[in-house]
Structure 1
């Protein structure tokens, strides 16, 4: 998701992955699954199939770990600030973990071809020996919108051609 934020010195974009549910929504769904699983496991245990209960617990634990890891991954964000002289990219989750500042005049955006037809191209900000990935979690439409916006701001776009396909799928 690409959001334009107000900024006094230039343009600021907030890049985040698409999130269908908040943390509370994920927990509520997980609790519904827990309730249904407990009802079924209890019925099976009362019918004599008590071996189902530990496996139901393992299933719920695996689901909880998956929901937690996915929710943590969806909290990533990148803030791209563009002013007359610099491009600043900040990455993190709840706080800034890393930051890069590149000169607008000499920086360029490389678009590496997608791995398959439904994937977005990989974006990399480049200045001399500095290569920083940009918006790796964006979908195809958001990536295209970001590229169009950066191109309209005068950033040089390098479109790398895909490697020739030998036609073999194995």
Structure 2
């Protein structure tokens, strides 16, 4: 999912790239609580019937579901911020609140390349290239979104080159 904002005073454009996550954190908690309650109700019913061995497996199921949802939520906090200004191109990758890396390029020399997989087995790659360096962006996007982002970034870079 890509969101775009423009700052007309500074002449910059900001693109926020995030994975498309349809379930919010609150939704995950509600889902986890509902599944936990239902699983425990079934386990209690089996315990009352004398099948006590169901309880450890029910607790293991709840534990695996909780860990899986936690890891999924943590991975969905990933984002890339691409800021294109007349004098610089800044890419910031984050995982949650923590900034992982910052990359800075001169916008005049940046080339946007969309590399499709030759056999069409894997997703395409959107690369920003400058002075022998290459950086992949938008890895969490679909091929169509990646293609749209490539066109939009190319247009924004061309407008920066014309004004600079």
TM value normalised by structure 2: 0.84
Deviation at 1:126, TM superposition (A): 1.9
Q: Which has more helix, going by share of residues?
A: 2
- Cα distance in 2 for residues equivalent to 1:117 and 1:61: 38
Q: Which runs of 5+ in 1 are unaligned?
A: 156-170
Match of residue 45, structure 1, among 44, 47, 53? 47
User: What's the CA shift for 1:111?
Assistant: 2.2
Q: d(CA) in 2 for partners of 1:39 and 1:12?
A: 49
Given that residues 4 and 13 in structure 1 are in contact (C-alpha distance below 8 angstroms), is that contact kept between their aligned partners in structure 2? yes
1:151 CA displacement: 2.5
Partner of 1:86: 88
Could you tell me how far 1:16 is from its partner in structure 2? Answer: 0.8
Number of residue equivalences: 155
Q: Point out where structure 2 has 5 or more consecutive residues left out of the alignment.
A: 159-164
Distance in 2 between residues matched to 1:118 and 1:21, nearest whole Å: 28
* Residue in 1 that maps onto 2:4: 4
CA RMSD of aligned residues (A): 2.0
Within the alignment, does 1:146 sit opposite 2:149 as a pair? yes
Deviations 1:30-70 (A, max 9, x none): 10000110111111111121111111111111111111111
Whether contact under 8 Å (1:120, 1:143) holds in the other structure is no
1:81 positional shift: 0.7
Contact between 2:13 and 2:156, CA under 8 Å: does it hold in 1?
no
TM-score when normalising by structure 1: 0.82
Residue 152 (structure 1) shift: 2.0
Tell me the residue number matched to 1:126: 129
Aligned-partner SS, 1:32: helix
Residue 105 of structure 2 is matched in structure 1 by: 102
The 1:39/1:116 distance shift into structure 2, 3 A limit, reads: farther
